[in-house]
Structure 1
Amino acid sequence: MVGCRIRKRGGVGGSGDVELAPGEMTMPSLMLLYADKALFSESRALWLEIINSSVVPGAEVVLRLMDAYLRAGQFDELARVVREVASRDYEFCAEIYSAAVSCFGSAGKLAMMETILPDGNAFVEYYSAFGSLSDMETAYGRLKRSRLLIERGAIRSMARAYISKRKFYLLGEFLRDVGLGRRNVGNLLWNLLLLSYAANFKMKSLQRAFLEMAEAGFSPDLTTFNIRALAFSRMCMVWDLHLSVEHMAHQRVLPDLVTCGCVVDLFLERRLGRNLSFVLRKMDLNGPPRVSTDPLVFEVFGKGDFHSSAEALLESKHRRRNWAYSSLISMYLKKQYRSNQVIWNY
């Protein structure tokens, strides 16, 4: 189930007649048929008969029933189904809780979500997406008091909320509160801290955090290097970008389109096109183009001109060609050269 939208099996749903194969006319099938036809009193009666008998409904049956209630806006009935499943302690309760969070969260029914679900990472994620920053921070506070560890998904959700509001100082405070020493989320916390500094071009703080990251025993990854490269490129810090590319090669971290874009865009903007090969030859440009940078980075910096042009080219009719970074750069430079020629001739 994705976003609490469950694909109905052939025959159930919509308007018009529904046909069931003889072997499918079971009590759960009839209940779902009634629910899809908005005959909720009939489906309710069958549901009670099922759960009060020795029959254990399957997870898919419950999820499809919840989806029918969601589509009809029957949130009270949906909540009642979740409570009844939880009271019987079925083995798929966790899956039903997760689905309920998706249902109420996607519909913006955060208060109702609180009435049936325990505090947890799912709360934090959906308050991050649908609530205010204050609501989100309150949910995070409850999670901490419950002594549960905030998970990667909830960290990313809170970071996205802070980024969308341009609250980078609060993002940094949140990351420190989580604990930068945590290793079960990889470089996520450190990369987000670097991003919070790079977003406001606090270059000294960015460099200091990068050194602290290394001292803490974390090895920089592609996203780490690209956050710094984007900041150097936007600030026209040519030599710092050059050193970062060298460090990247020393750490054997392969570049992606974002890395190439930082170099190409900066050197062309500073009219240093003739020196471009000096940096590019330190990069492995023979592999197939890829973008492996954390998408949260683009929510702060967007995409550079080379990156956007390369992606458009890869998605165009020429996409069947076996592109490499070097060929994309060559084509982009030719395009820029022709563009400049037109301007000067005009």
Structure 2
Amino acid sequence: MWKNIEKSRINELNYEKIIGLFCEERMVEEAVEALQEMEGYGLRPSLEIYNSIIHAYAKNGKFNDASFFLNEMKEIGLEPETDTYDGLIEAYGKYKRYDDIGACLKTMELDGCSPDHFTYNLLIREFSRGGLLQKMEQVYRVMISKKMNLQPSSLVAMLEAYANFGILDKMEKVYRKVVNSSSLKEDTVRKLANVYIKNYMFSRLDDLGIDLSSRTGRNDLVWCLRLLSHACLLSRKGMDSVIQEMDEAKALWNVTIVNIILLAYLKMKDFTHLRSLLSQLPSRQVRPDLTTVGILFDAIEIGFDGAKTLETWRKMVLYRAVELNTDPLVLTAFGKGHFLRDCEEAYTSLEPKARDKKTRTYHQLIDLVIKHKAKES
């Protein structure tokens, strides 16, 4: 109907737009039909049309079809450009077909189509995501030798790759380049934090939190990192300093902040401050979670008189469904206490049907742990 209204609409540019839209929506068969239709009108397809179809097939994992249209394009005298191969490389990376990436680069060279800085940046990102560090570093060296600029997203990909493998020195080297040129997602920051924690470099968590706050503002993750840094070092002065900053910024406390402080007091066996903070939870409007309950029971096990707190919680907390709202970084740093490990052992001892029970209250979980320990003894 659209074509019949005005015949002048039947032209290469309009077909290029229509085929591009079909490919964006992954309607590749419709795109191919449109290609055949335009050829029926005697119109010559453009490089952009073939690129759209080749990339759409590749994104769908249909690499044989992509190759068919790549060859057809060459047969009608259209020379592939770097963008043609970049789309294929990206799709090969998506499907983890890294050998095909190498073959694609060789085909590029045979076609006289030299990789440009977009291609090299793409290769770094794909090899980084695949954990192919040697290939990633090889491409990086080529880029340096050719004096090509590394895109911020490529630097971040390298940073994540080193963090995933826990390669501290290279991670820090890349981080210094990234920190002034690109903002990091929280997931990336957490990966860095995990590496620092596993290497007992707790002071770096404070630096990481300060760097993050300069870009995102002082959010929950910033306070978590900074307080966790001093708590792991058992620095009361450092913890008090961060708490004072939070109060001055009128930052609301959450269960993660509370549990970090409680865990530090537990490690110090500072029962006076432990009791004081537990009593402040209602006024600070913080609801205890499983980690908080575990801290109380672990403290009782080493001599803390928690009878009063436990009695209060029986009425206000323990009838609720079990929740675990503490940031995972906290458990990575401090480890799981005796109570949490007992919970896991008790749970794994249950029959499969009993494990499928969707919700349990703290009362029920505590009873389960007591019964399991009684059986073990």
TM-score with structure 1 setting the length? 0.69
What is the DSSP-based 3-state SS (H/G/I as helix, E as strand, rest coil) of the residue aligned with 1:288? coil
Q: Which residue is 2:63 aligned to? A: 32
Determine whether 1:124 maps to 2:159: yes
Q: Which residue is 1:297 aligned to? A: 330
Determine whether 1:319 maps to 2:355: yes
Q: Comparing both structures, which one devotes a greater share of its residues to helix? A: 2
Deviation at 1:182, TM superposition (A): 5.3
Distance 1:334 1:57, change over 3 A: same
Q: Which residue is 1:199 aligned to? A: 232
What is the DSSP-based 3-state SS (H/G/I as helix, E as strand, rest coil) of the residue aligned with 2:179? helix
Distance 1:31 1:262, change over 3 A: closer
Does the aligned pair in 1 maintain the 2:346–2:372 contact within 8 Å?
no
Distance 1:102 1:320, change over 3 A: closer
> 1 CA distance for matches of 2:114 and 2:294?
52
> 2 CA distance for matches of 1:246 and 1:312?
30
Distance 1:175 1:89, change over 3 A: closer
> 2 CA distance for matches of 1:59 and 1:313?
52
Alignment-mate amino acid for residue 243 of structure 2: F
Identity %: 23
Does the aligned pair in 2 maintain the 1:258–1:307 contact within 8 Å?
yes
Distance 1:303 1:71, change over 3 A: same
Count of aligned pairs:
303
> 2 CA distance for matches of 1:47 and 1:118?
33
Distance 1:123 1:97, change over 3 A: closer
Alignment-mate amino acid for residue 343 of structure 2: A
Distance 1:79 1:206, change over 3 A: farther
Q: Which residue is 1:136 aligned to? A: 171
Alignment-mate amino acid for residue 156 of structure 1: R
Counterparts of residues 1-346 of structure 1 (less than 5 Å): 28=57, 32-33=63-64, 46=71, 49=74, 52=79, 63-66=90-93, 70-72=97-99, 75=102, 77=104, 99-103=126-130, 105-112=131-138, 114=140, 115=143, 118-119=151-152, 120-130=155-165, 132-146=167-181, 148-176=182-210, 178=211, 180=213, 183=216, 186-270=219-303, 272=305, 274-275=307-308, 277-278=310-311, 280-281=313-314, 284-314=317-347, 316-317=350-351, 318-321=354-357, 322-333=359-370, 338=374
- Output one character per residue of 1:154-213: Cα deviation in whole Å (capped at 9) or x when no partner: 32222122111111123323433x054655572112211111111122223223222222
- Structure 1 unaligned blocks of 5 or more: 1-22, 36-41
Distance 1:168 1:78, change over 3 A: farther
Deviation at 1:79, TM superposition (A): 10
Off by >6 Å, runs of 4+ in structure 1: 42-45, 56-61, 78-81, 84-90, 94-97
RMSD, matched Cα: 4.4
Distance 1:64 1:122, change over 3 A: closer
Distance 1:302 1:53, change over 3 A: same
Distance 1:43 1:88, change over 3 A: farther
Distance 1:243 1:79, change over 3 A: farther
What is the DSSP-based 3-state SS (H/G/I as helix, E as strand, rest coil) of the residue aligned with 1:303? coil
Distance 1:101 1:266, change over 3 A: same
Does the aligned pair in 2 maintain the 1:245–1:282 contact within 8 Å?
no
Does the aligned pair in 2 maintain the 1:258–1:291 contact within 8 Å?
yes
Alignment-mate amino acid for residue 150 of structure 1: L
Alignment-mate amino acid for residue 163 of structure 1: I
Does the aligned pair in 2 maintain the 1:191–1:223 contact within 8 Å?
yes
TM-score with structure 2 setting the length? 0.64
Distance 1:254 1:64, change over 3 A: same
